[in-house]
Amino acid sequence: MALDALRISGYRSLRELRVPLSGLNVFTGPNGCGKSNLYRALLLTAAGARGELAKALGAEGGMPSALWAGERDRGSVRMRLGFTNENWDYEIACGLPIGGARAFLLDPLVKEEEVRYVGGSRPIALLERKNASVWLRGEDGRRVSYPLAVLPSESALSQIVDPQLYPELAALRQEIGNWRFYHHFRTDADTPLRRPRTGVLTPVLANDGADLAAALQTILEIGDGAGLEEAVDAAFPGSALAIFQERGRFEVGLTMPGIRRPFEARELSDGTLRYLCLLAALMSPRPPGLLALNEPETSIHADLLAPLAQLVLRAAETTQILLVTHAEILAGHLEAAGAAVFRLEKVEGETMLAD
Ligand SMILES: Nc1ncnc2c1ncn2[C@@H]1O[C@H](COP(=O)(O)OP(=O)(O)OP(=O)(O)O)[C@@H](O)[C@H]1O
Ligand SMILES: [Mg+2]
């Protein structure tokens, strides 16, 4: 179910930002204006729904680093991450840890959390949390206190998991769990992308693209194989995919015009390898509800931006897309096809939507 709006506050340069979303959303703006922060805020929301909020924040320096470091009006600063779609309104608010497990200074402390069902004639609160106390809507419609202790550093949504007792929470968790994120595909000499790797049927490319060969083979077998072959030819005229397979180990390769043998993964250029990752991500035979891409144009030549735009537009027919880009050409192609383009700017340290 597509998101109608994102709300983020107190997270890095996103002091207070509300973004109305459509099916295909493109974010551009100068270096440091907060594009990746926006992408990461969504990633943190998804990590929170999986019970990995502290881990995801830890990987970027922890809660103290993540909190808005600029001027504040009053009181202690909170990081709030929230969204609305046709059925749900979800919000989680976190602050710095106080007391308790003092060793874990990088952990967030969840202060508030709310799940509301907004698909009916009036909103219904299904879950409300204040610090360690959680209330849920019982079967008879009354508020009941959740009897078990919840971890202070993780969302209640990730911890109240009984699908029989709380089917709506399970549905929401599953929906968020289905969001997909791709940021950077490592293409240096040591990247797993350039090595043969045990392959299994892979309808979803890993975040780091490590299972690229298996993911492409999966599209050839159970997805739009002809479309994939066409897309490879459109990007690299005269070329064709060659997925090497030996005793269950897969490696991606490419035949090229004028060359008598297929190139192996370690011989492919950085841009070629990245583009193949984008093909696997955007042509997944199991498309996600929401796909977020941060700077997919990295090391992609300008000539490939038009075919990339076509891929994105095709994917947007089934998937809501949030795409961060520096490539004006890519943004231009997508805007011409009806995408919502948001230009971000930073004003006194704060990320804003430019008019
Ligand atoms: N805790 C914080 N409080 C306020 N601002 C922060 C905080 N942490 C980082 N920032 C700001 O966020 C900026 C980085 O934002 P971000 O990485 O989203 O930029 P970007 O738009 O993706 O840029 P690029 O195009 O270079 O990738 C930093 O330069 C800094 O100004
Ligand atoms: Mg960035």
Mutation to probe ligand 1, out of 11, 12, 40, 94 (largest number of atoms < 8 A from CB)? 12
Closest CA to 156 of 102, 95, 101, 112: 112
Q: Are 301 and 246 in contact (CB under 8 A)?
A: no
How many whole angstroms from 327 Cα to the centroid of ligand 2?
Answer: 12
Cα torsion for 269, 271, 272, 277, to the nearest 10°? 130
CA of 138 to the centre of ligand 2 (A): 43
3-class DSSP assignment, residue 255 = strand
CA of 46 to the centre of ligand 1 (A): 20
Say which amino acid occupies 137. R
The predicted structure's pLDDT at residue 41 = 98
Do residues 113 and 157 lie in contact, with contact meaning Cβ atoms separated by under 8 Å? yes
Which residues keep their CB under 5 angstroms from ion ligand 2? 36
Q: How far is the CA of 312 from the centre of ligand 2 (A)?
A: 19
Amino acid at 104: F
Among all ligands shown, which has an atom nearest to the Cα of 27?
1
Judged on CB neighbours under 10 Å (0-12, 13-18, 19+), 183 is: middle
The ligand 1 atom nearest the CA atom of 34: 18
Looking at residue 298, what DSSP letter applies? Answer: T
Ligand 1 binding residues, C-beta < 6 A = 12-13, 29, 31-37, 65, 67-70, 326, 349
Domain limits, the chain? 3-15+38-179, 181-287
- What are the residue ranges of helices labelled H in 33-166? 35-49, 53-59, 63-66
* Contacts of residue 194, Cβ cutoff 8 Å, sequence gap at least 6: 187, 265, 266, 268, 273
Q: Give the DSSP letter of residue 135.
A: E
For position 101, what pLDDT does the model report? 58
* 10-residue mean pLDDT series, the chain (355 residues): 96 97 98 98 98 98 96 84 97 86 87 96 96 91 92 97 92 96 96 96 97 98 98 97 97 96 96 97 98 96 96 98 96 98 97 95
pLDDT at 100: 60
